[in-house]
Structure 1
């Protein structure tokens, strides 16, 4: 072999050895098992979720239950799809709750709905169905018993005050709440029910609205009595004239003074009030101080003006009582024939 060629091979080998010694060969990296050993499994998390049973009397609602496990569905199960979350959520419902939910969403199938829609439906049908007035009234009636724990009661007060919605409570709403709370007697059951119905429909109900709600049936009753009595002053004049004629025709033995004890015990008058048309005595008429909008005269209800019946005086003058000859002749014959009739 040529010495020059041998020398070049030796140089190449020396360079190769030098390169190998200069290279720092690091050991292969091993996969970290720290996360695998510390991170809980999905099965372990799902087994830790308690089953939901609806009990509104004990304040066990879906909102309270889901608030406890909401972060699990949001973070721990973030890699899972909606269908998997829906299956897990329905698996944690009680038997009666699951049947009720499936009946509510018919004809849809539970797997056809998204996770957000499922949570919303469960919150609506398994939530607190109490009205806002009910919640606020119970908050005002909170009482701490002797056996209650003080710190626990502080938490209850804080929870009920948050449900009271103090930030959204206006001054008019607070006045309306106090007014309804005062109507505790059985006598006010009707107006109390109607006011609660109005308050449920319109949470911004004011005291003025409640006063109008109370006055409305009173006005309707007055109008009904007015229509029942004829609705005009002419009919009242006829009734008065008829009563006067009957009193004039009555004999002395049957005078009205003879029945004075009976008339004193009457609760309702024989004729309607000529000031308003209602069935009460004139001295009890609420329109004595009322100013009529038509004639501007104080003392009667609108529409019962004396000027509206111009023929009242003429009719009164022209009306002549019928002679009661039969009654008088009967009395005279009785007096003449029998001394016992005197």
Structure 2
């Protein structure tokens, strides 16, 4: 092999070596890029909001600590009480859950009876088509007990211990008095309360119902009311009832007169 051929072969070998080095460098860069992407995806999968798997894991974790809701009217097991106890599980621990996931988690903690009634309420929509906040609001409307303020205050007056322990009895008294909002009653308010309480349970039943509604409507409008207002309202009702009774008597007399005329007319026809 002459010198020119040797130089040519040497240049070719150097070129192949350089290409091989470039190829190896490109492959190394590609592997590093793919490894980095895989690591990023793996880390993303570990976050609560990145994948369906982590959402499910978070839902299962929260769901295992939340009790099932059973509505019971007699024992006043309401949705508001249940949700007040578990709200943080949905809004704090579950803050990274998607809205639909929160709804699904909430529905999974409803009893069969509650879920069936709720499903009928939102029909034709499915529970997955209702936002979480609206779902909570609807459940509160359906499974709460709305007692009037006077009902709570009447209950306070009749508090009695029923074989409870000192702790249970004290807790009951505290809870009932807080519900009655006793701290908001002034002297005039107590007069109104005892005025209503003193109405006869049977003879004044309709009047008591009317005046409780009357007072609460006044309070809702931020209007004051006292016993003199109740007295005037009652006198107005009595006058209205008197007018109604007079009108009924007139109507009765007119009907009787028409009946008598019809009888006389028919009687004459029989004898003619």
In which range does the TM-score fall when normalised by the shorter chain?
Answer: 0.5 to 0.7
Counterpart mapping for 1:219-238 below 5 A:
219-220=239-240
TM-score, normalised by the number of residues in structure 1: 0.49
Q: Whose relative contact order is higher, 1 or 2, with alpha carbons under 8 Å and at least 6 apart?
A: 2
Contact 2:100 2:128 (8 Å CA) reproduced: yes
| Other-structure match for 2:191 | 175
Which structure has the greater CA radius of gyration?
A: 1
CA distance, structure 1, for counterparts of residue 216 and residue 92 of structure 2: 39
Q: Deviations over 1:4-44 (max 9, x none)?
A: xxxxxxxxxxxxxxxxxxxxxxxxxxxxxxxxxxxx96524
Counterpart mapping for 1:1-342 below 5 A:
42-145=59-162, 147-203=163-219, 204-220=224-240
| Other-structure match for 1:33 | none
Measured after TM superposition, the shift of residue 118 of structure 1 is 1.3
Measured after TM superposition, the shift of residue 163 of structure 1 is 1.0
Alignment CA distance shift 1:218-1:108 (3 Å): same
CA distance, structure 1, for counterparts of residue 244 and residue 176 of structure 2: 46
CA distance, structure 1, for counterparts of residue 176 and residue 70 of structure 2: 22
CA distance, structure 1, for counterparts of residue 86 and residue 248 of structure 2: 66
TM-score, normalised by the number of residues in structure 2: 0.61
Question: Secondary structure of the residue that 2:160 maps to in structure 1?
Answer: coil
CA distance, structure 2, for counterparts of residue 228 and residue 76 of structure 1: 66
Measured after TM superposition, the shift of residue 190 of structure 1 is 3.4
| Other-structure match for 1:282 | none
CA distance, structure 1, for counterparts of residue 247 and residue 85 of structure 2: 64
Contact 2:62 2:94 (8 Å CA) reproduced: no
Where structure 2 has 5 or more consecutive residues not aligned to the other structure, the ranges are 1-56, 251-272
Q: CA RMSD in A?
A: 2.8
